[in-house]
Amino acid sequence: MKFEGRVALVTGGGSGMGRAMVEEFAAEGAFVVAVDINKQAATETVKGLSTPDRASAAVADVSSPEAVEALVADVVREHGRIDIVCSNAGVLDDYTPAHETSIELWNRVIGVNLTGPFLISRAVVPVMLEQGRGVIINTASISAFVAGGGGAAYTASKHGVLGLTKQLAFDYGSRGIRCNAICPGAIQTGMTEHLLTAEGRNPHVDAAIKGTPAGRWGKPVEIAKLASFLASDDAAFIHGAGYLIDGGWTLP
């Protein structure tokens, strides 16, 4: 198993892609801390694993500096190391255009989607530098490259995540820390399930998905497989990349 003996931390581990990442890393031998703001969701992720002894649930709001510092300190105290971090927790802005975006919505989306990965990285980098190795994987989005995958705050936050990823790779790559971003297209998760109902349908997303070469929504496990590859030693030469995994959404 490729992650035997390694400790992984996955934020947003209570649902969707984060849950799939927890499953994937645990199945490959890692001990995984599933972090979520929703305690019940994180607990259910762990309970649902085929190897529940290889994971634990933790509650933290990734946009809170105090909560993130306490989380990382707890994991290091308990497990002695952190090898893999997936900063994956995120929230959507319901495709709100700039002129309708309240400062509360802006701050919430930037706080979770961009400040969250910054705070997590700031807390784990010293641990990884001390170890001499570590992998950080940030979940960005096609919204790191194009408009229309979200509204103003979401698209700005995901462009920021890719920028943060590149800077982390640049600053720490030579000291053993690899950092990359995953940039999914439309994936069927808790975040998007309302878009599949008649009331929630978004014509832009509908048309985009029908028009992609894949012609369908992506599955969380397909994203988790990419995270697993990027976290593995097979990806040793990959630094600061933003991996589009979108069924071809952004090709045209």
Which residues are at the interface with ligand NAD (CB under 6 A)? 11-12, 14-18, 36-38, 41, 61-63, 88-91, 112, 139, 141, 184, 186-187, 189-192
Min separation Cβ 117 and ligand NAD, Å: 9
**Active-site pick, 95, 154, 172, 243:** 154
Choice between 165 and 189, CB closer to ligand NAD: 189
CB of 212 to ligand NAD, least distance (A): 13
CB of 31 to ligand NAD, least distance (A): 20
Rounded to an integer, what distance in angstroms lies between the CA atom of residue 162 and that of residue 167? 9
Q: How far apart are CA 23 and CA 222, in angstroms?
A: 12
Q: In the complex with ligand NAD, which residue's Cβ is closer, 82 or 187?
A: 187
DSSP notation for 64-92: -HHHHHHHHHHHHHHHS---EEEE-----
Edge-to-edge strand order for the sheet containing 242-245? 55-59, 31-36, 7-11, 84-87, 134-139, 177-184, 242-245
Q: How far is the CB of 180 from ligand NAD (least distance, A)?
A: 14
Residue closer to ligand NAD, measured from CB, 86 or 135 = 86
Using CA atoms, how far apart are residues 165 and 233, in angstroms rounded to an integer? 19
Of 58 and 237, CB closest to ligand NAD: 58
Between 137 and 187, name the residue whose CB sits nearer to ligand NAD: 187
Whether residue 172 lies in the annotated active site: no
| Burial (0-12, 13-18, 19+ Cβ within 10 Å), 32 | buried
Shortest Cβ 13–ligand NAD spacing (Å): 7
The residues annotated as belonging to the active site are 154
